[in-house]
Amino acid sequence: MPVVGPGLKEGRQGELVQRGGALSATISQWWAGRHGDRHGHVRLLMPGLVLASLGLAAMLWLASPAVVIASMCQFGTGFGIIENPTFALTLERGPASGYGTASAMWNLAYDAGYGAGPALFGLFAARTGFPAAFALTGMLMLAALPAARRERSAHATCRTARAIRSGRSRCTRSAAAETSSRHEAG
């Protein structure tokens, strides 16, 4: 941790950063799964993205150990919130018989990002320093907001149309197309 910020000392503060981020991610994953199962996963995409990206961007203030610890807890919370709905929405894209393939694809993308992200972060941090690398990573995460907004809109449209016609609450792109074609035919 001393390499990241001069205000952080080895030992207790570094441990708080790691454990705080991991604990907040674990708790928020549990909460996001529970909330998503009851109210829909797509609603969690944008808040999770914003929390995680702002947590990373706040790492501009590395001189303050309290800010670093709070930032990593905020990032962990956002990360935990977004991990759950992305997986659930991946499974919703296809039939139950395709869950194994969908899970493998999600895990492949997750692992690729988990490997490539830190490598690219390290290259950038070596040239600009950690504060700029954290801020850029936070800004890059916000680039996913338009996709999250489109996903939320597609689910809202599908949910409204399906609730009127069938009373079911599960919403997928295939369901939206099905609802749309029924509406045009009927």
Q: What ranges do the domains of the chain cover? A: 12-143, 144-186
User: Region 114-128: what's the mean pLDDT?
Assistant: 91
pLDDT at residue 2, rounded to an integer: 47
CATH number for the domain whose boundaries are 12-143: 1.20.1250.20
Cα distances from 13 to residues 10, 79, 172, 180, in angstroms, run: 7, 21, 44, 54
State mean pLDDT over 68-76: 89
Model confidence band, residue 27 (pLDDT cutoffs 50, 70, 90): very high
> 122-157 as b/e, with b when 16 or more CB fall inside 10 Å?
eebbeeeebbebbbbbbeebeebeeebeebbeebee
Nearest alpha-carbon partner for 4 in 143, 172, 176, 125: 125
Residue 69: pLDDT band (50, 70, 90) is confident
Question: Residue 2 CA to chain centroid, in angstroms?
Answer: 28
pLDDT at position 60: 80
Segment among 25-34, 64-73, 127-136 with least mean pLDDT: 64-73
Alpha carbon of residue 7 to chain centroid? 29
**Separation of alpha carbons 135 and 124, rounded Å:** 11
Band (pLDDT 50/70/90 cuts) for residue 11 is low
Digit-coded pLDDT (tens) for 36-54: 999 888 989 999 999 999 9
In this structure, of 4-8, 75-79, 111-115, the range with the lowest mean pLDDT score is: 4-8
CA within 13 Å, CB half, 42: 23
pLDDT number for residue 171: 52
Q: What is the pLDDT of residue 173?
A: 47
pLDDT at 161 over 60: no
Q: If you write DSSP's letter for every residue of 41-79 in order, what string do you get?
A: SGGGHHHHHHHHHHHHHGGG-TT-HHHHHHHHHHHHHHH
Average of per-residue pLDDT across 59-88: 87
Please list, in sequence order, all residues whose beta carbon lies within 8 angstroms of the beta carbon of residue 175, skipping any fewer than 6 positions away: 158, 162
What pTM did the predictor assign?
Answer: 0.74
Confidence at residue 185, expressed as pLDDT on a 0 to 100 scale:
47
